[in-house]
Structure 1
Amino acid sequence: MSSLKIVLNFQAGLGVLANMFLLVFYTFIVLSHRPKPTDMISCQLAFIHIVLLLTGGDIWLKEIVESLNIDNDFKCKTTFYISRVMRGLSICITCLLSVFQAVTISPGTSLLNKFKHKLKKYMICAFLFIWFFNLTFSSNQIFSAGAFTNVSEAKQIKVSKSCSLFLLNYNAGALILAVTISIDVFLLGVMLGASAYMVIILFRHQRQHKHLHSLNHPRASPEKRATQTILLLVVFFVVMYSVDFIISSTAVLLWMYDPVILSVQKFVMNVYPTITPLVQISSDSRIIDILKSLESKCHQIF
């Protein structure tokens, strides 16, 4: 096993474990308490990232699937389709998370304030639309992905040991690529806009209330901590997406995938779903309290 594959396995394994912890935690919160809208969004995001890491990296599940006695063409189409759907869901749900947090912290005089009490209703509708759109729009992967053939073909680009992407029609491919880029740019713009709005709200709030707190020992509210966490995730997502987009665009334009470049791209793609749960775990006071309680109980036992 190469060093790059070891790094990818470790990265994906860490991400899966952290996301599974978050999924269990947020599922318990959603089922047992009155959840915040962002809790339900984070629960979905954890599930999406688990599937994304399992289908997008060189890890155990992918090797198990490849060892099954199933037609390679079907396995490639299924893997690429699920991976593409999860990638689309990741950017959409992250965008939704930033927008809902912006609405949550909006002041009473803001136009967004009237949506606060309807967040749960709008959120369910948003979930249904996002899932339906991505499951439908990503169906082109069923036609563009397939098993790698040894026959020399100019329109075939090998992206894994047994799978390839095929350029079936130049005009259709260019249209799908243009629409995909346009949607991603729009979502990134919404994320950055919501983030800028949250920064302005936090700055105004800090200026208005800094005389109530010691400048040497500021105490952030739960809403402020949650907002800062989401801002960090959005900035991190934009950076990782930009790097991934540059690598993907270069590979498609040159119509070739070097194994090293492919491994680097997989690493970049897996950074966000791996880092996200670690940031959320370290910044959610409820999780920190649970971990501290478990630590104290372990000290008492041992």
Structure 2
Amino acid sequence: MIPVDVLLGIAFFFQTGIGVQGNLFLIYLFSFLFLTGQRLRPIDLILTQLAVANSLLLLSTGVVEGLAALGLKNVLDDIGCKIVFYLHRVGRGLSLSATCLLSGFQAIIISPHKPRWINLKARIPRYIMPSILLSWIFNMLQNVVILVKLKGPRGTGNTSEMKEYLYCSVNVTTSISESLHALVISLPDAICMTFISFTTCYKVYLLYKHHKRVQQVHTDNFSNRAFPETRATQMILLLVGTFLTFYLLNSILTGCMHSMTLKPWMLHGSIFLAACFPMVSPFVLIKSDPQIVKYYSAVQDRKIPHTE
């Protein structure tokens, strides 16, 4: 029978390899089309941001977690621990921010064509890039504390003040400072999750109203013209639903970690769950968004020389 640690290591390497390939495919596809002057949808910029964040999250911890699961815990020194955990937290925050922005953007796009929404719909594409830049700045500044508190597995100082996390340790001086740090980290996440949940419910409500309206109309052509964003909205709902599922499971396990004696399987499981959405999301997009397939076909046509 294969030992559990070996299975964990294989799972982390598999998760990282598959997820990075899917996200890099999207980054390459959108970048190629942008650089060749192709017209992209405003939402594609958010999807590119999401793919970059997911790749950063997977690459920052996937390989190291796999090695740690196989028993190689001292693979990082102080600087390595700081960089890996910092990039992991920044990537996780960017992934959450991009999902939040994506859900809000789609909610505005499919909102009823009323005067108060029309002007906002026209201006919203101009706010996407500033929003992405602000999310990078915020997440990079928010996690600066990791560069101060995190140490290597053999960190110096009073061992009673060090909390071990497999191959790294964190300096926790008092329970008050630990609770304050947890509050600072979790509050933006809670706000984003509340916003995502609200916009998701709003979109479900709009889709339900559209479905009831279509049932009263027996002409298929009218139904297709009446709500052309329906398919894209369903894609976003599937993506957001996947995100919420993995995030809630990870949050439950993280809560158990803080309320119980920390065990290695808890930390491995928490990090594995945190990386499930970055692994799955590009394939959800490729499968559910027909425009991505059209983009890929356009790229292939440009690469293949046409013979007379």
TM-score, length of structure 1 as denominator length: 0.85
Q: Which amino acid aligns with 1:52?
A: L
Three-state SS of the structure 1 residue aligned to 2:94 is helix
Distance 2:242 2:250 in 1: 12
1: CA distance, partners of 2:125 / 2:225: 29
The corresponding residue for 1:48 is 53
| Secondary structure at the counterpart of residue 165 of structure 1 | strand
> Residues 170, 112 of structure 1: CA spacing in aligned structure 2 closer, same or farther, 3 A cutoff?
farther
Does residue 107 (structure 1) correspond to residue 123 (structure 2)? The answer is: no
Give, in whole Å, the separation in 1 of the partners of 2:148 and 2:65: 26
Could you tell me whether the CA contact under 8 Å between 1:12 and 1:53 is conserved in 2?
A: yes
- Residue type at the aligned position of 2:127: Y
**Which of 124, 149, 154 matches 2:129?**
124
The answer to whether the Cα contact below 8 Å between 2:161 and 2:171 also exists between their aligned partners in 1 is: yes
1:273 corresponds in structure 2 to 278
**Are 1:226 and 2:237 an aligned pair?**
no
Deviations 1:149-185 (A, max 9, x none): 288823322223x311221343232112113222211
Q: How does 1:62-81 map to 2 (within 5 A)?
A: 72-81=77-86
Aligned to 2:177: 172
Q: Is the 8 A contact 1:30 1:40 kept in 2?
A: no
**Structure 1 partner of 2:6:** 2
The code of the aligned residue for 1:48 comes to A
Q: Which residue of 2 aligns with 1:249?
A: 255
Q: Measure the CA separation in 1 of the matches of 2:8 and 2:226.
A: 40
- Distance (Å, rounded) in 1 between the aligned partners of 2:90 and 2:189: 13
Residues 135-156 of structure 1, C-alpha deviations (whole Å, 9 max, x = no match): 1111111122110128882332
Q: How many angstroms apart in 2 are the aligned matches of 1:14 and 1:3? A: 16
Q: Give the superposition deviation at 1:28.
A: 2.8
Alignment of 1:92-103 (within 5 A): 92-103=97-108
What is aligned with 1:206? Answer: 211
Letter in structure 1 aligned against 2:49: Q
Query: Residue 115 of structure 1: CA displacement?
Result: 1.1
Deviation, 1:110, is 6.3
Distance 1:250 1:221, change over 3 A: same
Cα distance change of structure 1 residues 206 and 253 upon mapping to structure 2, 3 Å threshold: same
1:145 is aligned to 150
Q: What is the Cα deviation at residue 212 of structure 1?
A: 4.2
Which residue identity is paired with 2:164?
A: K
Q: Compare 8-17 and 246-255 and name the one that shifted more.
A: 246-255
Partner of 1:13: 17
Tell me how far apart the structure 2 counterparts of residues 97 and 200 of structure 1 sit (CA, whole Å): 17
Match of 1:235 among 225, 241, 261: 241
Distance 2:76 2:22 in 1: 33
Identity of aligned residues (%): 30
Number of residue pairs matched?
A: 289
Deviation at 1:289, TM superposition (A): 4.1
Q: Any unmatched runs of 5+ in structure 2?
A: none
Q: What pairs up with 1:155-166 in 2 under 5 angstroms?
A: 155-160=161-166, 162-166=167-171
Q: Is the aligned partner of 1:194 residue 2:235?
A: no
Q: CA deviation at 1:46?
A: 0.4
Q: CA deviation at 1:44?
A: 0.8
